[in-house]
Structure 1
Amino acid sequence: MKLHLTAFFLFSTTLLFAQRVTNEKEKYGDFNVIKINLSALTTGTYSFQYERALSNHTSLLLAAKFRPSAGLPFKSTIKSFLDTLSQGAGIDFVNNAKIGSYAITPEIRFYLGKGAMHGFYLAPFARYEGNKLNSWRYTLKTVNKTIVIDFTGKQNGIGAGLQIGAQYMLSNKISLDIWLVGPYLFADKIDANSITDLSDKTDQDLQDAKNDIEKYAKNYLPGHTVTANVTHTGATLNAKGTFYGARALGLAIGYRF
């Protein structure tokens, strides 16, 4: 008798879930969505996502983004802000830096609405990100001399956080994904170097440059341990630490299949 009741319960549960899946499929289509991040395009970044439903309220998503090496986006706005703070070194960085980047972000989404991949969601996520600094010109002007060092380098790190957003079906096939806010903690390592002829500079000049580079980096990299070294043949800059960031106000359009 117990065996019969157990079998009946399992059979009924299976039918109920199958009916929910059928209803969802009839209403919205299959449980796959491929998306392009429209907001990322404004910064010259190409970002794509693939999402697949696992159940009526859960899905897995994998996002990948890539930005070719280029100057910083919104350069004039950043320069105006730094100018109000009298941050000359920061303005120099904005003017000359060329940065390329990529990131891979897996996440699991828990939907609070009635259907898979529809309505508000909470999404724990992880992220691996790399940035390549192809050009950054550091300049130190003293009373008698000017020291110019051209850096190249890279930043790599991993992080984790929680994304809050909402996804809606605009039609049977087209979806709209809105990211409201996604705070995360990120741990990274930065390595930059330069091969520069500084043979005409004194040891004191090199020490002044080292101190100034470290001071500048610490101002813009809170929570990091920073070490610089400047010699007659070049310079290095290394930093390691953690910081808080956020994924926010994103907008992606998707095709469900």
Structure 2
Amino acid sequence: MKKFFLLQLVIIAISAGTTQAQSSLIKVNVLSPVVRTGSVFYEHAIADDKSLQLGVFYTNFKADDTRFSGYGITPEFRKYLSKSKQAPAGFYLAPFLRYQSFKIKADMSEGGTSMEAKGSLNTFGGGLTIGNQWIFGEHFVVDAFFGPSYNAGKVKVESGDEDSIDAGSFSGFGIRTGLAFGLKF
């Protein structure tokens, strides 16, 4: 996983010398805190109509009697379709990959006895988002996106009952959505 992350950084660094000034963005998804997650993106234009984006998130929340904590990495390629604007502005399509790693703790009670089950979940998947990115002035960025995703993974039980640990919405089909605010530099 570290090699993949480093490869993404190398690609972004190499592409930095081939594009014009002010073609990098840093953004924060303002919808993420609703699900107790912090999400940050770095995007860099690599051509007039293309960019690469790398997103990372961290989460730590409790749903019912299950606590999820972990991180995810989302590399993404964006193809901007607006003829009148250059990347990174306008309407786009963005295929993406996603790796997620979580620790899971589930509190269960059975017959008056309280137990804790522990496990981990690693998923890999991807999807496609559509979105629009606006640049106001020279530096302020708003990015809205939405699309389907799929992640496959399996819970590895460390202790407790395997049936008591559920992957929840982190495995299977889902929706990836966001509203990000950021800066262009």
- Give the TM-score category using the shorter length: 0.7 to 0.9
Higher helix share: 1
Shift of 1:37: 1.1
Q: Any idea what the Cα deviations from partners look like across 1:169-205, whole Å, max 9, x if unmatched?
A: 12210010001x221221101012336xxxxxxxxxx
State the one-letter code of the partner of 1:174.
F
Do structure 1's residue 52 and structure 2's residue 44 form an aligned pair? yes
In the alignment, structure 1 segments of 5+ residues that lack a partner are: 1-20, 73-93, 196-209, 223-241
The answer to whether structure 1 residue 252 and structure 2 residue 180 are counterparts is yes
How far apart are 1:132 and its partner, in Å?
1.1
What amino acid is aligned across from residue 71 of structure 1 in structure 2? Answer: K
Distance in 1 between residues matched to 2:167 and 2:72, nearest whole Å: 20
User: Is residue 33 of structure 2 the alignment partner of residue 63 of structure 1?
Assistant: no
Gaps of 5+ in 2: 1-18
TM-score, normalised to structure 2's length? Answer: 0.79
Q: Where is the strand percentage greater, Structure 1 or Structure 2?
A: 2
Dislocated runs of 4+, deviation >3 Å? none
Q: Is the 8 A contact 1:121 1:165 kept in 2?
A: yes
- Pair member with larger Rg: 1
Q: What whole-Å deviation, never above 9, does each CA across 1:69-116 have from its counterpart, x for those lacking one?
A: 3423xxxxxxxxxxxxxxxxxxxxx0x322212100000000111221
Q: Which residue of 2 aligns with 1:105?
A: 74
- Distance (whole Å) between structure 2 residues aligned to residue 159 and residue 40 of structure 1: 19
In the alignment of these two chains, the number of paired residues is: 163
Tell me if structure 2 keeps the 8 A contact 1:54–1:60: yes
Correspondence 1:21-32 to 2 at 5 A:
30-32=22-24
Structure 1 equivalent of residue 12 of structure 2:
none
CA distance in 2 between partners of 1:188 and 1:221 (Å): 8
| Secondary structure of 2:47 counterpart | coil
CA distance in 2, matches of 1:175, 1:137: 42
Aligned counterpart for 1:126 among listed residues 94, 97, 102: 97
3-state DSSP of counterpart to 2:114: strand
Aligned to 2:34: 42
Q: Is the 8 A contact 1:149 1:194 kept in 2?
A: no
Identity %: 32
**1:189 matched residue in structure 2:** 154
